[in-house]
């Protein structure tokens, strides 16, 4: 293999090539797609958390102007299969998620019937006219209650509501606890959150009766998973379905799943022979797009007298909602939490029990920081509780308890191998950048008035770039785990790459172009990146779980190297030189030290595609393109440290973030500007999760937060400016040197803010064991501490 | 359904259409005029993605009916650039990475377009306040605020 040209574009702050059409309103999102003769679909949704559907009367709706069809669950089951997420492993119980609920609905918002009409106004009129008779069933809306023997069952084929359970002990836990000077035990809770991308989900489907193919435009993060899920549900071969992801208005996880609406819309396009479109509105988004984070954990920590952390024990109970999502299953959140719990700590012992429990609520799934955000909250709170118990600074407890960079690859107490990380270095860089000692002095000077100052730290590891090895170990057999790239030099010399990734705003058109331009030694402007089309792009997994740069990026590099080698072989023949004597730069291939003896990439391409115009070297095939399917090592780990400084108003429970510093280590940064942008956005979501965002249900499972007036996303007024300190610990043996980094900001922020609030309120006797710390929650905690304090 | 004939000027072009009185301004722009740069993020007046300029003022087009703009002058994101030449606010968003998925962006651009005409030299906290009614889920607003400051600077430089 030839030497790579020096990197010119990778690591540079390059303006995004995708921006001009986005800025000018020219980009086409799903809602902007219109096809001739297109009809609009809307859904009648269950108003009950748990109910038998007795009968549906659509006559009045069908008689309304513009209405073309009404489809019910009883009808659609004749020509669709339910969505079934599979998992290997004895404890897993799959669920059947029908395209339209029948014979019962299992959460408020579950689609029960579909109405098709000429436009959305007529659809909305007709939705009100569909009469559904329900027989309400007792709902179960709390995961712990759902685990009891007499709880109502969601899925009758299973003996209880436990969808997944797992147990683990590294064998040292009990001894570590027995030897410990200090043990603490408490219960932690996290409320439900949702990713709330500014663009909801959506599907346009069009059936071509001439060749029996279905074209689907979907707001998806994973076009090939969508194709596979639809193929199974529609009983069609995958080759008959083309999935196209247009411009996507944010994803953050939930858009990697396949939903009943997707199946129904496609089935309707096929049956009606007309293109159909469905767009999720915000109410539907807050009711039915996969949610996240709803956990209870009983957790215990063991430590030495100096605060060195020795062991954790934890029982994670995750409320996974009504169905197991495709393709990652309901195991994703509880198992990821349990696995990541040791984080960057050197532990003697760790044991866990993890449960994913079905309830009559919206299914949960992938959301930025999945499982990791909660486990980090539990762990980092326990670490601070140890610091308080030992009267040691929280920074010292961490420093003493981390594993060392020299011990990487480090096998954590949960058996996960952290390939590379420098937790102590990261902590030191953040303390230094923030001026930690000065902050503590300011805190002491701030005193005990209405505003209480607190400082919080959080250290974490972030699972990124997972290959099939990780999904095999987890039993997630429907997740391919690899990604792929095709690199093609066109006959006229332009370079195009087709990737299995799918950007939702991450800037792939720029970052992959930077990587490819460097590998091939061509100008950035010569390169175009194409994604999000199962017909044009090679088969792979898509963009989720901080994988694109590592996995699709790795595939791109390996495909590009094949093309570069072939380019050099042909150029060597043309220049009558040895390939090893050639240098490639700016689209020119020259004999080293003889700049005038050169050919351009376009010259090589011309010959490669028109071999009759000259002669190709013996044994070299025509054309100039290569594909690589890349299955990376099981995972590569980013790591980081967050520091938050907050002022808590103890009268109102309002938290103001005064300072925010992030130390981020994601290996080589392709584009530091984009890395920082991802961090800002991820931190914003973590702060939202920590302080404001909460999907609330009443006792009957009725969601009360179905608009942006109730589900509060942070605005400019709540969010701080984030200071970022970069470090780059390269992953050993990596193709690219890249690590994923999209989630660290969210994982770290919720816990850093929680620890800062806890620090601020410790003198009042407040213990922080739940998220979000919304003003009403803090108000309650402060009042309770005051009551308890008076009583004591 | 009751209909009404309207005449509006959008980005300098005049359109005469008959609309159902219940048709929202956003749907009219997007579906009837094919100006799909105006986005819908909530349709209940919170996110600001649908912000456009009506007679010089920033409004949420999801909360207005098309029938209400009869005779009005509208500016949407499609009318901001001069051909392929970006408006200084767009240029600043590009330069400072003020957008990721871009879905919220038209609303921010139009909000800032009006705000910076009223307040050409704002402080950071004035900028934060001015765009506090626009939601973005990708950027954490930090680079949007930076871009807004830079845009104010280049607009002032251009005006002098
Ligand atoms: S779509 Fe108009 S404010 Fe959200
Ligand atoms: S850039 Fe995606 S919502 Fe703002």
- Both structure tokens of B13: 């072009």
| pTM of the predicted structure, to 2 decimals | 0.97
- Cα-based angle A448, A449, A455 (whole degrees, multiple of 5): 60
User: How confident is the model at residue A2, as a pLDDT?
Assistant: 59
A716 part of contact set with chain B, CB < 8 Å: yes
Q: In what order do the strands lie in the sheet with A654-665?
A: A451-464, A636-649, A654-665, A723-727
Q: Least CA distance to B89: which residue of chain A?
A: A23
User: Could you tell me the pLDDT band of residue B142, with boundaries at 50, 70 and 90?
Assistant: very high
User: Could you tell me the pLDDT band of residue A625, with boundaries at 50, 70 and 90?
Assistant: very high
Can you tell me the distance from the alpha carbon of A394 to that of A752, in angstroms, rounded to the nearest whole number?
Answer: 12
- Both structure tokens of A425: 């270095």
User: Could you tell me the pLDDT band of residue A583, with boundaries at 50, 70 and 90?
Assistant: very high
Class of domain B3-79: alpha beta
A656 part of contact set with chain B, CB < 8 Å: no
B111 part of contact set with chain A, CB < 8 Å: no
Determine contact, residues A147/A320, Cβ cutoff 8 Å: no
User: Measured between CA atoms, how close is B113 to chain A, in angstroms?
Assistant: 13
Q: Least CA distance to B145: which residue of chain A?
A: A716
Can the peptide bond before residue A327 be classed as cis, meaning omega within 30 degrees of 0? yes
Can you tell me the distance from the alpha carbon of A68 to that of A61, in angstroms, rounded to the nearest whole number?
Answer: 10
Percentage of chain A with pLDDT > 70? 99
Classify residue A593 by its DSSP letter.
Answer: T
Terminal Cα-to-Cα distance of chain A (whole angstroms): 74
Fold classification of B88-156 (topology level):
DNA polymerase; domain 1 (1.10.150)
Query: From residue B126, how far is each of A26, B109, B116, B149 by CA, in Å?
Result: 30, 16, 10, 10
Q: Which atom of ligand 2 is nearest to the CA of A250?
A: 2
Least CB-CB distance to A16: which of B76, B80, B97?
Answer: B97
B51 part of contact set with chain A, CB < 8 Å: no
User: How confident is the model at residue A128, as a pLDDT?
Assistant: 96
Rg over CA atoms, chain A: 27
pLDDT above 90 for A605: yes
Question: Which residues does ligand 2 sit against, CB inside 6 Å?
Answer: A 198, 250, 505; B 99-105, 136-139
A260-282 residues labelled b (16+ CB within 10 A) or e (exposed) = bbbbbbbbbbbbbebbbbbbbbb
Could you tell me which of B137, B79, B75, B130 has the C-alpha nearest to residue B103?
A: B137
Hey, which residues does A584 pair with through a beta bridge? A589
CB distance B106 to ligand 1 below 6 Å: no
Non-local (6+) Cβ contacts of A150 within 8 A are none
pLDDT above 60 for A790: yes
Percentage of chain B with pLDDT > 70? 99
Query: From residue A748, how far is each of A298, A365, A460 by CA, in Å?
Result: 21, 20, 7
Exposed, middle or buried, A690 (CB in 10 Å: 0-12/13-18/19+)? buried
Determine contact, residues B67/B1, Cβ cutoff 8 Å: no
Q: Do B99 and A716 touch (CB under 8 A)?
A: no
Can you tell me the distance from the alpha carbon of A665 to that of A781, in angstroms, rounded to the nearest whole number?
Answer: 35
Q: Which atom of ligand 1 is nearest to the CA of B135?
A: 4
Site to probe by mutation for ligand 2, drawn from B96, B98, B105 as the one with most ligand atoms within 8 Å of Cβ, is B105
- The ipTM (two decimal places) reads 0.98
Report H helices in A310-411: 332-340, 372-390, 394-401
Can you tell me the distance from the alpha carbon of B99 to that of A23, in angstroms, rounded to the nearest whole number?
Answer: 8
Q: Do B36 and A25 touch (CB under 8 A)?
A: yes
Q: Percentage helix, strand, coil, to 5, in chain A? A: 35, 25, 40
Question: How do the domains of chain B map onto residue ranges?
Answer: 3-79, 88-156
As a whole number of angstroms, the longest Cα–Cα distance in chain A is 95
Could you tell me which of A100, A101, A95 has the C-alpha nearest to residue A161?
A: A95
Can the peptide bond before residue A385 be classed as cis, meaning omega within 30 degrees of 0? no
User: How confident is the model at residue A137, as a pLDDT?
Assistant: 98
Query: Which residues between 30 and 89 in chain A have a beta carbon less than 8 angstroms from any beta carbon of chain B?
Result: 31-32, 34
Residue A112: CB atoms within 10 A of its CB come to 25
Can you tell me the distance from the alpha carbon of A692 to that of A757, in angstroms, rounded to the nearest whole number?
Answer: 14
Q: Least CA distance to B135: which residue of chain A?
A: A715
Kind and range of the H or E run holding A118: none
Can you tell me the distance from the alpha carbon of B54 to that of B66, in angstroms, rounded to the nearest whole number?
Answer: 11
User: How confident is the model at residue A83, as a pLDDT?
Assistant: 98
User: Measured between CA atoms, how close is A278 to chain B, in angstroms?
Assistant: 14
**Residue A717 with chain B: CB contacts under 8 Å:** 128-129, 132
Of the listed ligands, the closest to the CA of B26 is 1
Can you tell me the distance from the alpha carbon of A742 to that of A671, in angstroms, rounded to the nearest whole number?
Answer: 13
Helix A394-401 / helix A423-434 crossing angle, nearest 10 deg = 160
pLDDT in tens, A640-691: 999 999 999 999 999 999 999 999 999 999 999 999 999 999 999 999 999 9
Among protein residues, the one with the nearest Cα to ligand 1's atom 3 is B45
User: What is the separation of C-alpha B107 from the centre of its chain, rounded to a whole number of angstroms?
Assistant: 4
Hey, which residues does A645 pair with through a beta bridge? A455, A659
User: How confident is the model at residue A567, as a pLDDT?
Assistant: 98
User: Measured between CA atoms, how close is B102 to chain A, in angstroms?
Assistant: 6
Determine contact, residues A411/A322, Cβ cutoff 8 Å: no
Can you tell me the distance from the alpha carbon of A129 to that of A23, in angstroms, rounded to the nearest whole number?
Answer: 41
B145 part of contact set with chain A, CB < 8 Å: yes
User: Could you tell me the pLDDT band of residue A242, with boundaries at 50, 70 and 90?
Assistant: very high
Name all domains of chain A by residue range, CATH numbers in brackets. Answer: 19-26+482-630 (3.30.365.10), 33-137+201-248+254-288 (3.90.1170.50), 291-407+419-468+633-791 (3.30.365.10)
Q: Which atom of ligand 1 is nearest to the CA of B45?
A: 3
User: What is the separation of C-alpha A412 from the centre of its chain, rounded to a whole number of angstroms?
Assistant: 23
User: How confident is the model at residue A55, as a pLDDT?
Assistant: 97
B80 part of contact set with chain A, CB < 8 Å: yes
Non-local (6+) Cβ contacts of A158 within 8 A are A93
Pairing, β B3-10 against β A770-771? unpaired
**What is the residue-averaged pLDDT of chain A?**
97
CA of B43 to the centre of ligand 1 (A): 4
Could you tell me which of A448, A534, A429, A427 has the C-alpha nearest to residue A486?
A: A534
Determine contact, residues A236/A230, Cβ cutoff 8 Å: yes
Residue owning tokens 């020119």: A588
Residue owning tokens 């967050």: A642
Rg over CA atoms, chain B: 16
- Both structure tokens of A753: 């803010």
Q: Which atom of ligand 1 is nearest to the CA of B60?
A: 2
User: What is the separation of C-alpha A549 from the centre of its chain, rounded to a whole number of angstroms?
Assistant: 14
pLDDT in tens, A123-141: 999 999 999 999 999 999 9
Q: Least CA distance to A713: which residue of chain B?
A: B135
Residue owning tokens 């290997």: A88
pLDDT above 80 for A1: no
**Residue B94 with chain A: CB contacts under 8 Å:** 15-16, 19-20, 23
pLDDT in tens, A370-424: 999 999 999 999 999 999 999 999 999 999 999 999 999 999 999 999 999 999 9
B23 part of contact set with chain A, CB < 8 Å: yes
User: Could you tell me the pLDDT band of residue A447, with boundaries at 50, 70 and 90?
Assistant: confident
Handedness of CA A279, A283, A285, A287 (dihedral sign): negative
As a whole number of angstroms, the longest Cα–Cα distance in chain B is 52
Can you tell me the distance from the alpha carbon of A767 to that of A777, in angstroms, rounded to the nearest whole number?
Answer: 12
Could you tell me which of A145, A182, A137 has the C-alpha nearest to residue A162?
A: A145
**Residue B104 with chain A: CB contacts under 8 Å:** 198
Pairing, β A202-208 against β A276-279? antiparallel
Q: Do A32 and B30 touch (CB under 8 A)?
A: yes
- Both structure tokens of A8: 């010119």
Q: How many CB pairs under 8 A join A and B?
A: 170
Classify residue A345 by its DSSP letter.
Answer: B
Can you tell me the distance from the alpha carbon of A664 to that of A459, in angstroms, rounded to the nearest whole number?
Answer: 10
pLDDT above 60 for A562: yes
pLDDT above 90 for B159: no
Can you tell me the distance from the alpha carbon of A535 to that of A532, in angstroms, rounded to the nearest whole number?
Answer: 9
Can you tell me the distance from the alpha carbon of A142 to that of A223, in angstroms, rounded to the nearest whole number?
Answer: 34
User: How confident is the model at residue A90, as a pLDDT?
Assistant: 80
User: How confident is the model at residue A575, as a pLDDT?
Assistant: 97
pLDDT above 60 for A792: no
**Residue A507 with chain B: CB contacts under 8 Å:** 100
Can you tell me the distance from the alpha carbon of A325 to that of B21, in angstroms, rounded to the nearest whole number?
Answer: 41
B142 part of contact set with chain A, CB < 8 Å: yes
In A100-181, beta strands by DSSP E: 104-105, 111-117, 131-136, 162-169
CB distance B41 to ligand 1 below 6 Å: yes
Of the listed ligands, the closest to the CA of B99 is 2
pLDDT in tens, A260-302: 999 999 999 999 999 999 999 999 999 999 999 999 999 999 9
CA of B44 to the centre of ligand 1 (A): 6
Can you tell me the distance from the alpha carbon of A516 to that of A553, in angstroms, rounded to the nearest whole number?
Answer: 9
pLDDT above 70 for A791: no
**Residue A681 with chain B: CB contacts under 8 Å:** 100, 137-140
User: How confident is the model at residue A4, as a pLDDT?
Assistant: 67
Can you tell me the distance from the alpha carbon of A251 to that of A280, in angstroms, rounded to the nearest whole number?
Answer: 13
């Amino acid at each position: 293999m030839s030497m790579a040209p020096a990197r010119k574009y990778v690591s540079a702050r390059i303006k995004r090539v995708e921006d001009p059409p986005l800025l000018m309103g020219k980009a086409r999102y799903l809602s902007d797609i219109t096809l001739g003769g297109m009809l609009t679909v809307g859904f009648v949704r269950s108003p009950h958390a748990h109910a038998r559907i007795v009968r549906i009367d659509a006559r009045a709706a069908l008689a309304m102007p513009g209405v073309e069809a009404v489809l019910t669950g009883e009808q659609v089951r004749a020509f669709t299969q339910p969505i079934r997420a599979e998992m290997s492993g004895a404890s897993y119980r799959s669920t059947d998620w029908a395209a339209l609920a029948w014979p019962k609905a299992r959460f408020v918002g579950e689609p029960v019937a579909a109405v098709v009409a000429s436009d959305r106004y007529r659809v909305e009129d007709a939705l009100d006219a569909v009469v559904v008779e329900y027989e309400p069933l007792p709902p179960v809306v709390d995961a712990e209650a759902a685990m009891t023997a007499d709880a109502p069952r969601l899925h009758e084929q299973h003996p209880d509501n436990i969808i997944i359970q797992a147990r683990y002990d590294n064998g040292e836990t009990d001894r570590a606890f027995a030897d410990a000077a200090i043990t603490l035990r408490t219960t932690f809770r996290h409320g439900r959150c949702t990713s709330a991308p500014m663009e909801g989900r959506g599907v346009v489907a069009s059936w071509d009766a001439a060749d029996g193919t279905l074209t689907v435009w979907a707001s998806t993060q994973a076009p090939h998973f969508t194709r596979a899920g639809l193929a199974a549900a529609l009983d069609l071969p995958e080759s008959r379905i083309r999935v196209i992801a247009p411009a996507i208005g944010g994803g953050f996880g939930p858009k990697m799943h396949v939903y009943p609406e997707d199946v129904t819309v496609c089935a309707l396009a096929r049956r009606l022979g007309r293109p159909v479109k469905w767009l999720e509105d915000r109410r539907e988004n807050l009711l039915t797009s996969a949610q996240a984070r709803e956990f209870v954990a009983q957790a215990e920590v063991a430590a030495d007298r100096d605060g060195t952390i020795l062991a954790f024990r934890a029982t994670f109970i995750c409320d996974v909602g009504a169905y197991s999502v495709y393709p990652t299953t309901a195991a994703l959140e509880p198992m990821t939490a349990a696995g990541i719990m040791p984080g960057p700590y050197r532990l003697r012992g760790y044991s866990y029990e993890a449960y994913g429990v079905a309830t009559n609520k919206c299914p949960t799934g992938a959301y930025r920081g999945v499982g990791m955000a909660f486990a980090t909250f539990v762990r980092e709170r326990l670490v601070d509780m140890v610091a308080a118990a030992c009267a040691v600074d929280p920074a010292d407890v961490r420093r003493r308890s981390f594993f060392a960079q020299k011990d990487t690859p480090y096998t954590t107490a949960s058996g996960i191998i952290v390939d590379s990380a420098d937790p102590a270095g990261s902590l030191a860089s953040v303390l230094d950048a923030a001026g930690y000692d000065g902050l503590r002095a300011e805190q002491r000077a701030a005193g005990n008035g209405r505003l209480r100052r607190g400082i919080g730290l959080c250290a974490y590891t972030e699972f990124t770039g997972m290959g099939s090895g990780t999904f095999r170990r987890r039993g997630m057999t429907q997740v391919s785990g690899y990604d792929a790239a095709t690199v093609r030099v066109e006959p006229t010399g332009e370079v195009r790459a087709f990737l299995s990734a799918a950007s939702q705003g991450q800037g792939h058109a720029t970052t992959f172009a930077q990587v490819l331009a460097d590998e091939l030694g061509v100008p950035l402007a010569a390169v175009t990146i194409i994604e999000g089309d199962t017909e044009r792009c090679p088969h792979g997994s898509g963009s989720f779980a901080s994988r694109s740069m590592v996995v699709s990026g790795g595939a791109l590099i390996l495909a590009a190297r094949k093309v570069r080698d072939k380019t050099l072989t042909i150029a060597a023949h043309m220049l009558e030189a040895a390939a090893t004597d050639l240098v490639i730069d700016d689209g020119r291939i020259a004999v080293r030290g003889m700049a005038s003896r050169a050919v351009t990439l376009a010259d090589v391409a011309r010959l490669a595609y028109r071999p009759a115009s000259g002669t190709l070297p013996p044994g070299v095939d025509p054309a100039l393109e290569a594909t690589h399917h890349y299955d990376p090592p099981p995972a590569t780990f980013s790591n980081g440290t967050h520091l938050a400084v907050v002022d808590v108003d103890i009268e109102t429970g309002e938290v103001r973030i005064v300072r925010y510093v992030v130390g981020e280590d994601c290996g080589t940064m392709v584009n530091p500007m984009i890395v920082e942008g991802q961090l800002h956005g991820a931190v914003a979501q973590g702060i939202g999760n920590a302080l404001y965002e909460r999907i609330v249900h009443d006792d009957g499972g009725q969601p009360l937060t179905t608009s942006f007036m109730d589900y509060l996303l942070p605005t400019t007024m709540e969010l701080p400016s984030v200071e970022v300190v970069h470090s780059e610990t390269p992953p050993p043996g990596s193709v690219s040197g890249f690590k994923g980094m999209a989630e660290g900001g969210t994982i770290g922020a919720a816990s850093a803010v929680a620890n800062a609030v806890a620090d601020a309120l410790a003198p009042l006797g407040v213990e922080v064991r739940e998220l979000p710390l919304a003003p009403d929650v803090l108000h309650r905690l402060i009042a309770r501490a005051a009551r308890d304090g008076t009583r004591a | 359904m009751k209909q009404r004939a309207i005449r509006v000027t959008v980005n300098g072009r005049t359109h005469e259409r008959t609309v159902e009185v219940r048709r929202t301004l956003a749907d009219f722009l997007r579906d009837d005029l094919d100006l799909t740069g105006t986005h819908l993020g909530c349709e209940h007046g919170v996110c600001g993605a649908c912000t456009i300029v009506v007679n010089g003022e920033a409004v949420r087009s999801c909360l207005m009916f098309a029938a209400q703009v009869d005779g009005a002058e509208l500016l949407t994101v499609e009318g901001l650039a001069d051909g392929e030449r970006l408006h200084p606010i767009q240029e600043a968003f590009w330069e400072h990475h003020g957008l990721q998925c871009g879905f919220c962006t038209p609303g921010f651009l139009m909000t800032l377009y009006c705000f910076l005409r009223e307040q050409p030299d704002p402080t950071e906290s004035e900028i934060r306040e001015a765009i506090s009614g626009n939601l973005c889920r990708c950027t954490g607003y930090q680079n949007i605020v930076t871009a807004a400051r830079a845009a104010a600077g280049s607009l002032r430089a251009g005006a002098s």
